[in-house]
Amino acid sequence: MRTHVGTTAARRKFWGWGLEGTQATDAEVRELAQRLHDRFGIQSSGPVDAPKLSDITLRDPRVVVPATLAGFCSVDKHDRAEHTLGKSMRDFVIGLERRYDTPPDFVAFPCKEADVVAVLDWANDNNVAVIPFGGGSSVADGIDPGGVGDDYAGVVSLDLRQLNQVLDLDRDSRSALIQTGVLGPALEDQLRPHGLSMRFYMQAFEFSSLGGWIATRAAGHFANLHTQIDDYVQGLRVVTPRGAVQTRRLPSDGAGVSADRLFIGSEGTLGVITEAWMRLQDRPKHRASASFRFRDFEAAWKATRAVAQSGLWPANCRLLNPVEAAFSGAGDGKVSILIVAFESADHPMDAWMARGNEIVLSYGGVVSDASGDGQKAGEADRWRDFFIRGPYLKEAYARLGIIRETFETACTWRDWPEFHAGVVEATQKAVDAECGRGTVACRLTHVYPDGPAPYYTVLAPARRGAELQQWAAIKEAASEAVLRLGGTITHHHAVGRYHRPWYDQQRPDLFAEALGAAKQALDPAGILNPGVLIDPNPRE
Amino acid sequence: MRTHVGTTAARRKFWGWGLEGTQATDAEVRELAQRLHDRFGIQSSGPVDAPKLSDITLRDPRVVVPATLAGFCSVDKHDRAEHTLGKSMRDFVIGLERRYDTPPDFVAFPCKEADVVAVLDWANDNNVAVIPFGGGSSVADGIDPGGVGDDYAGVVSLDLRQLNQVLDLDRDSRSALIQTGVLGPALEDQLRPHGLSMRFYMQAFEFSSLGGWIATRAAGHFANLHTQIDDYVQGLRVVTPRGAVQTRRLPSDGAGVSADRLFIGSEGTLGVITEAWMRLQDRPKHRASASFRFRDFEAAWKATRAVAQSGLWPANCRLLNPVEAAFSGAGDGKVSILIVAFESADHPMDAWMARGNEIVLSYGGVVSDASGDGQKAGEADRWRDFFIRGPYLKEAYARLGIIRETFETACTWRDWPEFHAGVVEATQKAVDAECGRGTVACRLTHVYPDGPAPYYTVLAPARRGAELQQWAAIKEAASEAVLRLGGTITHHHAVGRYHRPWYDQQRPDLFAEALGAAKQALDPAGILNPGVLIDPNPRE
């Protein structure tokens, strides 16, 4: 039996974010604590040490890896620990408390589709739950065996990381057939020599997979026109317990209900997405961007809305409210900052930027930084790098005993003013009640002609050992407000098990019944990611 | 009991297209026959007369309208005849043969959602099939009671024309809550005073409904960026036999599988879509367009592809091959014509048009007509009017005994050269075998970065009385080639019953099982549009 994948290269940490050895340095953590204290008056109770593998004990596997699967499955302690928790604050705190109580019984690392089929067949026959695992970046309890419950003989984490190749590249149609276990950077590495890119970036880019993006309906930045992964999917291959589903690769299709769309967003409950034909873009050569300051947040979001409705389709249009801007060191806590960027592989973006500029200035925005075409070709990449550094700091907050967690949503522009006021009020009230003090920041990560996708960040001091209850109360208050005021419980973080209480209110009951019936048809034994998105089928 | 809707205004014809009195004049029909003879050597065997209501006999209703539904249901002969056939050549020929053998037993014209519920409840209890009916423009046997079969006690056509109001308009979010029975012109009439438009036009615009567009995944012109109706839907209300489904109105959403997308394209088999929140646009103020001629069709489609991949997102990008151009009187039969148009409510399109122009010229296109910003503001509208006149001529072709029918599809750019050659070859061969002579024309009605949506028109002399068999053989050959070479059996005409043989090959079997299970959950008695898209549920 193999031990774990990647023994020769650096392993991924079993706790926290990234590869072993990539955590924030002690000096960085100290500096962060100091900054939180000086700027927000938040006192840290740490840092406490990250867990070491020797700190934790894993229960014995409840099922034995059968000989037929032994060639690609692992009971290695690191592998099992790595697949026990996701990447939310909650996961990090549980990990810090050394509570690795519900590891998968083993981890499968399939090398080919037949391996996936073999795992599903065996699991189906043996009442073992299977959790499809991409990059493991879920913040919604989407990949944790702990939520599976006791109805199963065991749980296998099915990690697709070895299915990571671009299998076919169609330059004429700017698209590629890609194995879904590939992580963001490895995908872009394979596309770059062909002058192509998916231009699909999010904060978890480094350690999230194509299959994960599709299964959770992820949203990318540099993508304000085609934001959701849905729009990038040209065709899918999905292995279900009853066999493989191969959809036809097409640029567009009106033949009945979209088969792709049944699997996009299914969060591992209907099948394992193994391959996808994805739409790509030529790598941009022309860029233009500007950032603007506003003293008035209302003027700022009205400018943002006007840009979103202009038909200019910027590659980036992101608004930071004053608190959010201060978080990222970009403002003085009084100004909102709007970033507008255009890019193209075909033509200079001067006319686009000029009109974007006009629109924003007409709402009272003041240019604080502008870069013409080509002058700062690397700016977008630098911003991306900064952005991607975020998850590394997240584990530092947990070590410091500070609540720093986010929630994200979307609503219409009509709902937005009341929505925003109500969500901030409810959240702040809960923060004050639970933590005594703290701040709620907001940025618009994506904007659509018909509404924004706001992203809220809570920063508050926690009582060590009580962080999870404190956060749960804040999340409850925030989510109740989000639903009551017309938002969605998630715009791109997925439902998982974490968002179920609110998702179950949001989605129509009859739709859930229809989806459950579809699941029953594809996964009659209910072994796929039980508890995520919908209840597992009744056991027979 | 009411007789029929619209007694005071002009009625819709029960055969052919449009309102009573709107058919092509005798002079127009004679001129058409002459032109077909002179230009294509096609001899007409007509015109024969359109059927009059007194020419036809309808079977007696097999079920009696219950008292509870009597207030909004009709057994009027005109109403039943009007709901017997669709708008394909096949339908027109059957109508010319006076074969109205399978009318609905009665037609329901609900005035409110409760009426829809009442029809479904009664039908569910009495084993009566229900066919949701929008504008009746189906060319895919989507609304014909004839295909329902003998397993039902009767068939009701559920015509939503009285549910035709914009119920709520959200200017901030540029969207509206709309009853789905509204036809294209009435919808635009209600939006115009607010400076808004759906900008969703297709050839059937005059007599197709919002609900029909959603149920069949229609595609609009002036919409090369957001082509499919899917992208316009913000939220839906659907009445199923088990109750109403209301999805949450959102600009974007990543909460699990999209509920809207289960109903979009369901072709009346899962429920009756009664209301929809739709995304709108500001009415364009700035326009620029140009048409280009090419001697070489390969250069023309390569230019078209380059425009589609440029990120300029023209409002229209349409390529006519030499035969197609000649059809519409726009070419000499040797040149291909490419039309590129931009429009905006926000900014002049000069920079966009200039770059579009550059691209097309670099492939050898020659400008044949260009209109700068604002100079020919009405050109797009005039083209639209011409385009919308098409269906009126369709009935004239049928009366002349000439096959003029279309099929449409989509494929990737990689497949396209071989696809096009193979489809034209197979179709032409069948045309020659069946009709002795005839032509196959092609236009690209929609182009995507990853592939075109070609639209083929067949024009051939028919033997009176044998038109349907002749066309069936041609359609069979064409469809076999479309599927074999990588296309879809329909890009926007829907599946209905007509495309089932090929759709059943195209869609994954397990997906059909999942969809069937979803249908069983929502429509356990299988009363909704039986035979369309998927087989009705097994009767109990």
In a domain, A448, yes or no: no
If asked whether residues A62 and A136 sit together in one domain, one would say yes
pLDDT class of B28 with cuts at 50, 70, 90: confident
- CA separation (Å) from B126 to A165, A218, A328, B155, B520? 55, 45, 65, 11, 17
| B459 has pLDDT over 60 | yes
In a domain, A316, yes or no: yes
What's at A288, amino acid-wise? Answer: A
By the CB < 8 Å criterion, does B274 face chain A? no
In a domain, A334, yes or no: yes
CA dist., res. A115 & res. A73, Å (int): 10
Question: How confident is the model over B385-403, as pLDDT tens digits?
Answer: 666 678 888 999 999 999 9
Contacts of B282 in chain A (CB under 8 A): 309
Asked if A489 and A482 touch (Cβ cutoff 8 Å), the reply is yes
d(CA A82, nearest CA chain B) in Å:
25
If asked whether residues B154 and B201 sit together in one domain, one would say no
Q: What is the CATH number of the domain that holds B494?
A: 3.30.300.330
pLDDT class of B226 with cuts at 50, 70, 90: confident
- Those residues whose C-beta lies under 8 Å from the C-beta of residue B449, and which sit 6 or more positions away, are A173, A174, A251, A279, A281, B308, B309
CA dist., res. A50 & res. A392, Å (int): 13
Helix or strand or coil: residue A459? strand
**With an 8 Å Cβ cutoff, are B254 and A347 in contact?**
no
In a domain, A142, yes or no: yes
Q: What is the dihedral of CA A294, A297, A299, A304, to 10 degrees?
A: 90
Among the residue ranges A427-441, B6-20, B128-142, B294-308, the one predicted with the least confidence is B6-20
Nearest to B171 by CA among B195, B188, B148, B187: B195
For B60, the token pair is 């007696």
CA dist., res. A176 & res. A179, Å (int): 10
Among the residue ranges A309-318, A390-399, B345-354, B524-533, the one predicted with the least confidence is A390-399
Residues found in chain B: 540
The torsion angles phi and psi of B233, rounded to 5 degrees, stand at -85, 125
Residues found in chain A: 540
For A10, the token pair is 């650096």
Question: How confident is the model over A125-182, as pLDDT tens digits?
Answer: 999 999 999 999 999 999 999 999 899 999 999 999 999 999 999 999 999 999 999 9
By the CB < 8 Å criterion, does A396 face chain B? no
Question: How confident is the model over B424-453, as pLDDT tens digits?
Answer: 999 999 999 999 999 999 999 999 999 999
- CA separation (Å) from A294 to A331, A335, A456? 10, 5, 19
- Those residues whose C-beta lies under 8 Å from the C-beta of residue A382, and which sit 6 or more positions away, are none
If asked whether residues A228 and A147 sit together in one domain, one would say yes
Q: Could you tell me the residue range of the domain that residue A184 belongs to? A: 56-283+507-540
Q: What is the CATH number of the domain that holds B182?
A: 3.30.465.10
By the CB < 8 Å criterion, does B526 face chain A? no
If asked whether residues A295 and A177 sit together in one domain, one would say no
Residue A386: the pLDDT is 60
Residue B223: the pLDDT is 59
If asked whether residues B300 and B376 sit together in one domain, one would say yes
For A364, the token pair is 């009272």
Q: What is the CATH number of the domain that holds B361?
A: 3.30.70.3450
pLDDT class of B360 with cuts at 50, 70, 90: very high
**With an 8 Å Cβ cutoff, are A344 and B261 in contact?**
no
Helix or strand or coil: residue A437? coil
Residue B384: the pLDDT is 56
* End-of-domain residue from the set B159, B183, B209: B159
In a domain, A10, yes or no: no
**With an 8 Å Cβ cutoff, are A490 and B258 in contact?**
no
- Those residues whose C-beta lies under 8 Å from the C-beta of residue B330, and which sit 6 or more positions away, are B320, B337
If asked whether residues A256 and A293 sit together in one domain, one would say no
Report, as an integer, the average pLDDT of B70-95. 97
Question: How confident is the model over B99-127, as pLDDT tens digits?
Answer: 999 999 999 999 999 999 999 999 999 99
Average pLDDT score, chain B:
93
For A258, the token pair is 């979209």
* End-of-domain residue from the set A348, A380, A412: A380
If asked whether residues B47 and B146 sit together in one domain, one would say yes
In a domain, A101, yes or no: yes
Asked if B219 and B206 touch (Cβ cutoff 8 Å), the reply is no
If asked whether residues B134 and B44 sit together in one domain, one would say yes
If asked whether residues A226 and A274 sit together in one domain, one would say yes
Strand order in the sheet with A366-371: A366-371, A286-294, A336-344, A316-320, A439-448, A451-461, A402-408
Q: What is the CATH number of the domain that holds B52?
A: 3.30.43.10
CB pairs under 8 A between A and B: 312
By the CB < 8 Å criterion, does A67 face chain B? no
Helix or strand or coil: residue B456? strand
Q: How many domains does chain B fold into? A: 4
Residue B109: the pLDDT is 98
Asked if B367 and B292 touch (Cβ cutoff 8 Å), the reply is yes
* End-of-domain residue from the set A358, A380, A402: A380
If asked whether residues B278 and B291 sit together in one domain, one would say no
pLDDT class of B315 with cuts at 50, 70, 90: very high
Strands B128-133 and B154-159: parallel
Question: Could you tell me what percent of chain A has a pLDDT over 70?
Answer: 94
By the CB < 8 Å criterion, does B360 face chain A? no
Place of tokens 């035969």: B323
d(CA A256, nearest CA chain B) in Å:
4
If asked whether residues B312 and B416 sit together in one domain, one would say no
| B255 has pLDDT over 50 | yes
Three-state SS letters, A236-302: EEEEECCEEEECCCCCCCCCCCCHHHHHCCCCCCCCEEEEEEEECEECCCEEEEEEEEECCHHHHHH
Cα B16 from chain centroid (whole Å):
15
DSSP string, A362-423: HTT-EEEEEE-TTTTTTHHHHHHHHHHHHHHHHHHHHHHTEEEEEEE----TTTHHHHHHHH
In a domain, B513, yes or no: no
Residue B537: the pLDDT is 61
What's at A131, amino acid-wise? Answer: I
**With an 8 Å Cβ cutoff, are B412 and A173 in contact?**
yes
User: What is the model's pTM?
Assistant: 0.96
If asked whether residues A217 and A86 sit together in one domain, one would say yes
In a domain, A33, yes or no: no
Contacts of A493 in chain B (CB under 8 A): 254
Residue A6: the pLDDT is 43
Q: Could you tell me the sign of the dihedral formed by the alpha carbons of A388, A392, A396, A399, in that order?
A: positive
Residue B371: the pLDDT is 64
Candidates A170, A252, A310; nearest CB to B410: A252
By the CB < 8 Å criterion, does A510 face chain B? yes
By the CB < 8 Å criterion, does A538 face chain B? no
- Those residues whose C-beta lies under 8 Å from the C-beta of residue B225, and which sit 6 or more positions away, are A225, B313, B315
Q: Give the count of alpha carbons within 13 A of B69, CB side only.
A: 25
pLDDT class of B313 with cuts at 50, 70, 90: very high
Spans of chain A below 50 pLDDT: 1-7, 373-380, 382, 538-540
> Which has more confidence, B392 or B521?
B521
